Amino acid sequence: MSMLTPPGLGGKYRIKGDRYPRMRRPRRWGRIVAASLASVLAAAVLGWGTLQVIGIFSGSGPAKAADRSVKRAKCASAAPAAEARTGGRKAAEGKAGSKAEGKKAAGGGDDLPEPGDITVNVLNATSRSGLAKDTADELKKRGFKIGKIGNAPAEFDEKIKKAAFLVGAPGASTSDRMHVLGTQLAHTETRYDERDGKDVDLILGNGFAHLAKKKAATAALAELAGPAAGPGEPGKPGASPSAC
């Protein structure tokens, strides 16, 4: 045995000449596999995190997708209610159309006369002097034609408890004139007499104080002419665009 051979080693570990044993630890494949898996997992986590950051700044990440899903769900749940409202509006429009056709058939609706086409005889059935003159002046400012101004016939004198009495000849055209004139007053009654002419008698009663406010009278006249467009209808004032 050579003097270079370590104590206790012999046989195949015996050093002969210039050769010596190469001693190293055996490879542990379990650790290598675990390290490789850990590297792959770390790379996957890093890539997923990078995608999340990119999605946040670009607006296309999972959070945005979740928001879109929530909005779609809300729109889907709101669709039946919107359809119900649309159906209700269509039904209301159908009823309004039927009423308008009925008015038109009776000489009303779009054929309502303008205030300038109505001649009003203002008659005072109260004991207050000058009431008919003052009322006639105000009606004239609002565009009505004024006929006679004076005291009411004896059959009405001090016998009208309400604000006014409207009297005219029978017929659809007179009815339309009474409706238009009625927008300027409150608490009126109407009566038709067998007579000729298109004039309407406005007989002021004990309950009369003054004409309706001009703004309220204008609104009442517009409502009488036809229904206004409701809010939320597409293409009309008050309509709001769909959020879905």
- Residue with the bigger pLDDT between 173 and 134: it is 134
Give me the pLDDT at residue 108, please. 43
Which tens digits make up the pLDDT trace of 18-50? 555 555 566 666 777 788 888 888 888 788 777
Give me the pLDDT at residue 235, please. 39
Residues 222, 188: Cα–Cα separation, whole Å: 19
Please, which pLDDT band fits residue 224 given cuts at 50, 70 and 90?
confident
Nearest to 216 by CA among 178, 174, 186: 186
Is the model's pLDDT at 146 over the cut of 90?
yes
Give me the pLDDT at residue 36, please. 81
Q: Give the global pTM.
A: 0.49
Q: Specify the range with the lowest mean pLDDT, choosing from 31-40, 198-207, 224-233.
A: 224-233
Give me the pLDDT at residue 49, please. 74
Residues 82, 151: Cα–Cα separation, whole Å: 58
Give me the pLDDT at residue 44, please. 81
Q: For 222-233, what is the mean pLDDT?
A: 62
Structural domain 112-225, CATH architecture: 2-Layer Sandwich (3.30)
Q: For 208-224, what is the mean pLDDT?
A: 91
Q: For 135-150, what is the mean pLDDT?
A: 95
Q: Is 119 buried (19+), middle (13-18) or exposed (0-12) by CB count in 10 A?
A: middle
Is the model's pLDDT at 209 over the cut of 60?
yes
Quick one: how far is CA 28 from the chain centroid?
Answer: 75
User: How high does pLDDT run on average in the chain?
Assistant: 74
Is the model's pLDDT at 242 over the cut of 80?
no
Pure H helices in 14-130: 29-58, 62-105
Which secondary-structure segment (H or E) carries 223?
Answer: helix 214-225
Is the model's pLDDT at 152 over the cut of 80?
yes
Please, which pLDDT band fits residue 94 given cuts at 50, 70 and 90?
low
Please, which pLDDT band fits residue 75 given cuts at 50, 70 and 90?
low
Residues 218, 237: Cα–Cα separation, whole Å: 20
